Structure 1
Amino acid sequence: MADDLDDIDALEAPFPDTPDAPMDRILECVAVRCESPDVKTFVLRDTARDAPRFAAGQSMLLTLDIDGERVDRTFSIASAPSTVAGDKALELTLKRQPAGRVTRWLHDELSPGMHVRSRYPLGVFRLDAMPQGPLALVSAGSGASPLMSMLRTLARHAPKQDVAWFHAARRVEDILFADEIATLQARMPKLQASVTLSLPGPGWFGLRGRVSRRLIAAAMPDFFTREVYCCGPTSFMDDVRRIHAADGARHARFHVEHFGAPTVSTSPADRAASDADTDTRFDVTLGDKHFTARAGETVLMAASRQQVVISCGCASGICGTCKLHKRSGAVEMHHQGGLSPHDEAKGFILACSSRPLSDLVLDF
């Protein structure tokens, strides 16, 4: 990737177009790069002539067949969207997780020439307009991937943008994109980069420790003035958000990416409402399955609790994998772009993002 940036000033061009609606696609693996002993970058090419456009920061759903079982997982796209006609390559930079069935399979099995099913672009965590002020890209672990897509996009189209890159990792060998960040710093005059390690080894003279207000202030004294894009574990993002808010920054300028089960509110008002509705139950019929949902529980939570299987890729309202058709009943639904307005109008819901307000009849 860094080789494409030798003449950064010559790459300035109009900012990439806004993304298309999610589409089901077949991708071919055309290359695999080893970034570290447990991190690989998979270069994928869309086999369709009309490959959809995506925005920096967005993600894709991969549908894999692992030991005869369909498995869906959502991953952030690390490459920058291209404005070059015919350029249909996408990159996923993935760490092999010892307990992660999908990342282990990808590292061990996915090789050039193989094809995988996908759905993209997904998600509302994206940089799809020229920034109007200074940015902070804050990540932990593999959360650096969508932010790298943003940084690569800025390097191509706005190399004079004021950007502060802050990354948290455990050890030196866990730092992602270190060489490329150094290369970009030489070409982007207003790019400042900081890394903190929670388990620094001998010879590390940079920041150390878990993310804190002190560390953020040392790395970015003007953090509260910056629009923030943050990705990492939920606890990490919550800590960074609190630090940003504590310094008087506006809440609307803080963007997060999150894959996983939605966070249940613990505000006093919500706890009181939940306690009052402890005995409330809604009957849910899904095809030939029947289960009950507690007040405040999503359809997916209720189904999982009662061993009713609903395919799910992200559990965050991004990927659209858990789309169901609502034949009757009412729900409260808050998703993150995983369902189009057209599908909503036709009565579809996302199980991960919908809380029953009455008895429901659903089908796949």
Structure 2
Amino acid sequence: MADVLIEAQTLIVSDEAQARTLECIAVRDEAPGVKTFRLRDPHADGARRFAPGQAMLLTLDIDGVRHDRTFSIASSPVERDVLELTIKAQADGIVTRWLHDRLSPGTRIDARYPLGRFTLDVANAAPLAFVSAGSGASPLMSMLRTLAHSQPDADVAWLHSARNAADILFADELAALQSRMPNLKVIVWLSAPAPGWFGLRGRIARGTLWAVAPDFGRRTVYCCGPAGFMQSIRQIHAAEGARRAAFHIEHFGPAPVEASQHDVAPSPDAVYHATLGDKRFDVRAGETLLAAATRQQVVIPCGCASGLCGTCKVRRVSGVVSMQHAGGLSAAEEAQGVILACSSRPSTDVEIAFR
């Protein structure tokens, strides 16, 4: 969400995400190994839409095995019944490879959305910086497309890091948007540029960032990319004297929970016992219930593993856990004792149950 929790103004998180069956209506190549899938939601009229920056959970049956994966929505909610996912195929990714090889126009897939608190506060008129690396540009593109429609005069610095020129996501669209958005500034760093590249190269560093965006510390930042990248950008933003509340990040995958001043740190040698039905497993100090269960071959279904999608919901029967999630539970569910296994760390022995 190093401190990489999802932090952003919550616009649409009070209601639960809704299950949908989406139909693929188009596929286009975005960059080498990256495709954009255009999906139609036939029940979108009258349904709750998403906020720019939010995500959706896809549930796929691949060779008889269920797979749940969370992806950011790249399109703007302005499009009434259409959504786009821009996805990079991972070499060892079962789901992303299936999507690239099998998802084609006419194919239907199960989904649930909207998910997450990483959302653009459209009422905030402060200058913005959208900072991304690789496919982290997807949720930020949803935000930029929304601003292009509703606030074309918005002051936005688009800062993106890619490996080479061919890997720059949305390059043509960004060029077109600059003609419609007079205050949009696009800046790109390449880590391994080919000969003939005369732009910025290497990693985004404070000195270079200050040279191209000297007001970076005064901008509200939305950042998405690898954990180390986001932490580096946060440190630069803070070093420029910026407020922590003006920095928002998106993160998929396990993330450490910030300790509250009221938390009592467990002994590093502590081991707690967790019970799930007829299964019993050990949980190490600071370990999540999901991580401990997975380590000991106890199956708890999961999707994003970062407190976002809500797939790993279980009911706490007894015991004490600390939990900090990213919007995967409603307040009503928390009041009923529902927890997320991926975001819950026990401080006593616990008993949990599937809902």
- Give the structure-2-normalised TM-score: 0.92
Q: Is 2:342 the partner of 1:320?
A: no
TM-aligned CA deviation for residue 281 of structure 1: 2.1
Equivalent residue, structure 2, for 1:66: 62
The partner residue of 2:184 within 163, 188, 191 is 191
Equivalent residue, structure 2, for 1:280: 270
TM-aligned CA deviation for residue 359 of structure 1: 1.7
Q: Equivalent residue of 2:83, what SS?
A: strand
Distance 2:152 2:258 in 1: 40
Distance 2:216 2:204 in 1: 13
Q: Is 2:105 the partner of 1:112?
A: yes
Give the % identical residues.
Answer: 62
The partner residue of 2:337 within 336, 340, 347 is 347
Tell me, yes or no, if the aligned pair for 1:59 and 1:123 is still in contact at 8 Å.
yes
> Structure 1 stretch 323-332 or stretch 146-155: which is displaced more?
323-332
Distance 2:319 2:328 in 1: 21
**Pairing of 1:48-87 with structure 2 (within 5 A):** 48=43, 49-82=45-78, 87=80
Distance 1:140 1:37 in 2: 15
Query: Which residue identity does 1:124 align to in structure 2?
Result: R
The partner residue of 1:41 within 31, 36, 41 is 36
Equivalent residue, structure 2, for 1:239: 232
Distance 2:259 2:114 in 1: 32
TM-aligned CA deviation for residue 189 of structure 1: 0.6
Q: Is 2:293 the partner of 1:303?
A: yes
Give the number of the structure with larger relative contact order, counting CA–CA contacts within 8 Å between residues 6 or more apart.
2
TM-aligned CA deviation for residue 265 of structure 1: 6.3
TM-aligned CA deviation for residue 113 of structure 1: 1.2
TM-aligned CA deviation for residue 266 of structure 1: 10
Q: Equivalent residue of 2:22, what SS?
A: strand
The partner residue of 1:160 within 150, 153, 162 is 153
Distance 2:41 2:55 in 1: 14
Distance 2:352 2:212 in 1: 50
Tell me, yes or no, if the aligned pair for 2:257 and 2:324 is still in contact at 8 Å.
no
Aligned residues: 341
Distance 1:23 1:47 in 2: 13
The partner residue of 1:357 within 340, 344, 347 is 347
Query: Which residue identity does 1:42 align to in structure 2?
Result: F
The partner residue of 2:23 within 23, 28, 31 is 28
- Give the structure-1-normalised TM-score: 0.89
Q: Structure 2: which 5+ residue stretches go unaligned?
A: 1-10
Q: Equivalent residue of 1:65, what SS?
A: strand
Tell me, yes or no, if the aligned pair for 1:51 and 1:88 is still in contact at 8 Å.
no
Cα RMSD of the aligned pairs, angstroms, is: 2.0
Q: Structure 1: which 5+ residue stretches go unaligned?
A: 1-16
Distance 1:264 1:333 in 2: 8
> Structure 1 stretch 65-74 or stretch 39-48: which is displaced more?
39-48
TM-aligned CA deviation for residue 264 of structure 1: 6.2
Cα displacement string for residues 25-60 of structure 1 (whole angstroms, at most 9, x for unaligned residues): 111111111223321111111232543210000000
The partner residue of 2:284 within 294, 298, 303 is 294
Cα displacement string for residues 96-126 of structure 1 (whole angstroms, at most 9, x for unaligned residues): 1222221111000001111111111001001
More helix by share: 1
TM-aligned CA deviation for residue 301 of structure 1: 1.7
